[in-house]
A and B are shown apart, each in its own frame.
Chain A
Amino acid sequence: MVEMIPSVGRELLYREAINEALKQEMRLDDNVIIMGEEIAGGAGREHLGIQDAWGGPFRTTVGLIQEFGNERVLDTPLSEAGFMGAAIGASSTGLRVIAELMFVDFMGVCWDQLINNAAKMRYMFGGQVEVPFTMLTRIGAGFGSAAQHSESFYSLFSHMPGLKGVVPSDAYTAKGLLTAAIRDNDPVIYFEHKGLYTQPSLVPEETYVLPLGKARTLKSGSGITLVGISKMTWVCMDAAAELDKLGIDAEVIDLLSVSPIDYDHIIESVKKTHALVVVDEDTPVCSIASDICARVAEEAFDYLDAPPTKVTAPHTPVPYSRVLEDQYVPNVPRVVTTVKSLYEGYR
């Protein structure tokens, strides 16, 4: 059994942990290749001594081209439908492709390839084909980037039978889940949060795999279960510290996977705490948060002292102006207020 919380290792940033997983998996398996926009950068200018000009838009792929060459590290033209489809095609014919979609907001450009090919090929073809494909992409608001560069649309992918999805929340889970995603024989969407890249945490040097579809408990408690998704896990942890001062002992679960969702882990917790708040940066309608609340209501109804509740973004696009964006993303005061009102209303 792998530990879900590391006890050994050295401090790496989230982005360095992603980089380490990519390098280690590419060393272990020649079939693993990676492609995307600015993965290396300055493509085709080796003759001018230019290589790895960007190392990825957020420097998660830095150094790959030096080690693995431009046959396994492919900068692409700005053609997401074409290269994502090609990555899926290559993954179904013997390669194991990692492809990057720079921001999840651009999924519309390649959505058809993801949902009609990657997600369905194995099933439609009667199990003849495997699609060991990993798509890296980015989520998260809070950076003044407005409506087309700030979404957290993992729920849309979870809706699709055939796709798996992970939302690592720190460097340790970033490495272990990326290793798992690459080795998995199904398409996995790997959601990096822009607000976590420079967060350090303990990461073992050797490779390790964290299980897809498993959540972890970061803080145990008996008063209420808080479920965080990606960066929202840390909002839950901070809220739990505040709640502690109010005498409310919160348990915090870090979801880690958005498909499959570890309902059992959450339900076990709710059986103990009798209350649930899911904190989700995505919009609320047909969301992971609403899905978890519904599942808990169905399967743990008798254990609940209060309605399963969520703290999410509103049902609007992401606004540009700071004064609006600050209200948009769930924050500690909103979680604390929500928990307090559940306590006052139902306990």
Chain B
Amino acid sequence: MELNKEGLLHLYKVMSTIRHFEERGIPETGQRGMSASVHSSVGQEAVPAGVCAHLSSEDYIGSTHRGHGHCIAKGVDPKAMMAELFGRASGPNKGKGGSMHIADMTKGMLGTNGVVAASIPLAVGAALTSKIKKLNRVAVAFFGDGAANQGVLHESMNLAAVWQLPVIFCCENNGYAESTPFEYASSVEALSDRAASYDMPGFNVDGMDVFAVYEAAGLAIERARAGDGPSLLECKTYRYYGHTVFDDPLTYRTKEEEDYYKSRDPLKLFREKVLPEGEISQSELDSIDTDCLNLMEEAVEFADSSPMPEVSDLYVDVYSDYPISMMKRGTNMSI
């Protein structure tokens, strides 16, 4: 997507949708007793927005436990996502997955993932499919700074480089893995430096600035589409809330640090860059925010009025072909 007026409004709309989804959806999910495994990406909106602006629904992404933003930026319907969080049958996963497993294969969305770093090789595999079938699609593996220390990332990067696959390893470095500071857990200051070990380009950008993300992602994705292989893109960002709703982040980070990043809020930065140029007015952006607010109202209503899964759905989609009687055999299940 080009950054003409339409493109700019799209970027803002994606970020605003993510923000509103998190701010409304997470407490609503909590009120329905399902908040154990929901992670807010407020503060990190610029990364999925800037990266996915270069992707179509044919391209692939792999995501994380903090994945609502990736889903929205890749075009997954927020109403269906809300239903998934509420455990409803109208969610993309029919209520089987919840926040940490939202997947929409019609949008090339290979799933948020509950096991840190587990989705990275899935994106590599999707890039392999594209290469072998000559589909000219790219894949983006989103992961956190914590995930960067998992062996599977390193194996995946080497594999992608050896096979010259069209994949972008996109690290959202928000400074923390749960309460563990990035600087404690990593031997290098810039994760993008690790690209050298796998002979691929490493980009390091301000992840609060959607334009910086957009530009670097554009270069990496262009390379991938041209058949020049993988890249590593590190985006320095911040999560405003705790790891989950149960976490008080001030037990391990400072108010000053939080304030610093909030002063560089991605939606605010966008306004500060775009409004002075005059092409887009404040009221246009305000009305996007209002639309997003209203969309979340609709999403909550949609989710609440959607049916729960049938209890017998417990046995559906375990396999393509396997007798349900065998899943219950000898268990004394009551359904």
State the A residues within 8 Å of B (CB): 37-38, 41-45, 48, 50, 53-54, 57, 75-82, 105-106, 108-109, 143-149, 284, 290, 309-317, 319-324, 327-328, 333-334, 337-338
Also in contact, A146 and B37, with CB within 8 A (given A43-B180, A79-B149, A321-B88): yes
11 contacts between A and B (CB under 8 A): A42-B252, A43-B179, A57-B178, A78-B150, A146-B97, A147-B96, A149-B114, A310-B332, A315-B318, A320-B93, A321-B308
A337 and B334 contacting across the interface, CB-CB below 8 Å: yes
Q: With contacts A41-B252, A322-B34 known, what are 19 further pairs, Cβ within 8 A?
A: A42-B180, A42-B181, A43-B180, A43-B185, A53-B252, A54-B252, A76-B185, A144-B35, A144-B98, A146-B101, A311-B332, A312-B332, A314-B333, A320-B93, A320-B96, A321-B98, A324-B87, A327-B311, A327-B334
Q: B335 an interface residue at 8 Å Cβ cutoff?
A: yes
Interface pairs A-B: 5 shortest CB-CB: A42-B252, A321-B87, A148-B114, A44-B184, A320-B98
Q: B146 an interface residue at 8 Å Cβ cutoff?
A: yes
A321 and B309 contacting across the interface, CB-CB below 8 Å: yes
A148 and B115 contacting across the interface, CB-CB below 8 Å: yes
Nearest chain A residue, comparing its CB with the CB of B254: A48
B334 and A148 contacting across the interface, CB-CB below 8 Å: no
Contacting B116 at CB < 8 Å: which of A53, A78, A146, A338?
A78
CA distance A81 to B116 in the complex (A): 13
CA distance A48 to B101 in the complex (A): 36
* Distance in Å: Cβ of B101 to nearest Cβ of chain A: 6
Chain B residues, CB < 8 A from A78: 116-117, 146-147, 149-150, 177, 180, 185
Nearest chain A residue, comparing its CB with the CB of B313: A324
* Distance in Å: Cβ of A298 to nearest Cβ of chain B: 17
Chain B residues, CB < 8 A from A147: 96-97, 101, 114
CA distance A48 to B33 in the complex (A): 36
Nearest chain A residue, comparing its CB with the CB of B93: A320
Also in contact, A38 and B147, with CB within 8 A (given A290-B330, A338-B332): no
Q: Tell me the interface secondary structure of chain B in the complex.
A: loop
Also in contact, A77 and B96, with CB within 8 A (given A310-B331, A327-B311): no
Q: B275 an interface residue at 8 Å Cβ cutoff?
A: no
Most buried by B among A309, A315, A322: A315
Q: B100 an interface residue at 8 Å Cβ cutoff?
A: yes
Contacting A320 at CB < 8 Å: which of B95, B151, B318?
B95
- Provide the B140-151 mask, 1 if CB < 8 A to any CB of A, else 0: 000000110111
Pair count A-B, CB < 8 A: 188
A148 and B36 contacting across the interface, CB-CB below 8 Å: no
Task: State which residues 160-181 of B face A: CB under 8 Å.
Answer: 177-181
CA distance A148 to B116 in the complex (A): 11
* Distance in Å: Cβ of B323 to nearest Cβ of chain A: 10
CA distance A279 to B97 in the complex (A): 26
B251 and A328 contacting across the interface, CB-CB below 8 Å: no
Chain B residues, CB < 8 A from A50: 251-252
Chain B residues, CB < 8 A from A323: 87, 95, 308-309, 311
Task: State which residues 220-262 of B face A: CB under 8 Å.
Answer: 247, 251-254
Chain A residues, CB < 8 A from B146: 77-78
CA distance A322 to B36 in the complex (A): 12
CA distance A322 to B333 in the complex (A): 16
Chain B residues, CB < 8 A from A41: 178-180, 251-252
Task: State which residues 76-96 of B face A: CB under 8 Å.
Answer: 87-89, 93, 95-96
B326 and A315 contacting across the interface, CB-CB below 8 Å: yes
CA distance A309 to B198 in the complex (A): 55
Q: Tell me the interface secondary structure of chain A in the complex.
A: loop
Q: B314 an interface residue at 8 Å Cβ cutoff?
A: yes
- Provide the B310-332 mask, 1 if CB < 8 A to any CB of A, else 0: 01011100100000001111111
Also in contact, A54 and B183, with CB within 8 A (given A284-B329, A311-B331, A324-B309): no
Q: B290 an interface residue at 8 Å Cβ cutoff?
A: no
Nearest chain B residue, comparing its CB with the CB of A316: B318
Chain B residues, CB < 8 A from A75: 180, 184
A146 and B332 contacting across the interface, CB-CB below 8 Å: no
Chain A residues, CB < 8 A from B305: none
Chain B residues, CB < 8 A from A314: 314-315, 327-328, 331, 333
Also in contact, A148 and B87, with CB within 8 A (given A50-B252, A77-B180, A327-B334): no
Chain B residues, CB < 8 A from A45: 181, 184, 252
Chain A residues, CB < 8 A from B97: 146-147, 320
B115 and A105 contacting across the interface, CB-CB below 8 Å: yes
Chain B residues, CB < 8 A from A81: 150-151
Chain A residues, CB < 8 A from B254: 48
Also in contact, A37 and B178, with CB within 8 A (given A48-B254, A77-B149, A316-B314): yes
* Distance in Å: Cβ of A280 to nearest Cβ of chain B: 9
CA distance A57 to B313 in the complex (A): 32
A44 and B311 contacting across the interface, CB-CB below 8 Å: no
Chain B residues, CB < 8 A from A145: 36-37, 98, 100, 114
A79 and B318 contacting across the interface, CB-CB below 8 Å: no
* Distance in Å: Cβ of A78 to nearest Cβ of chain B: 4
B311 and A38 contacting across the interface, CB-CB below 8 Å: no
Nearest chain A residue, comparing its CB with the CB of B151: A81
B309 and A313 contacting across the interface, CB-CB below 8 Å: no
* Distance in Å: Cβ of B131 to nearest Cβ of chain A: 27
A43 and B181 contacting across the interface, CB-CB below 8 Å: yes
CA distance A109 to B309 in the complex (A): 32
Chain A residues, CB < 8 A from B35: 144
B311 and A322 contacting across the interface, CB-CB below 8 Å: no
A144 and B252 contacting across the interface, CB-CB below 8 Å: no
Chain B residues, CB < 8 A from A105: 114-115
Also in contact, A315 and B327, with CB within 8 A (given A78-B147, A327-B314): yes
CA distance A312 to B185 in the complex (A): 40
Chain A residues, CB < 8 A from B294: none
A309 and B332 contacting across the interface, CB-CB below 8 Å: yes
Chain A residues, CB < 8 A from B331: 284, 310-315
Most buried by B among A43, A45, A77, A145: A77
CA distance A36 to B226 in the complex (A): 42
Also in contact, A54 and B150, with CB within 8 A (given A317-B318, A319-B96, A320-B101): no
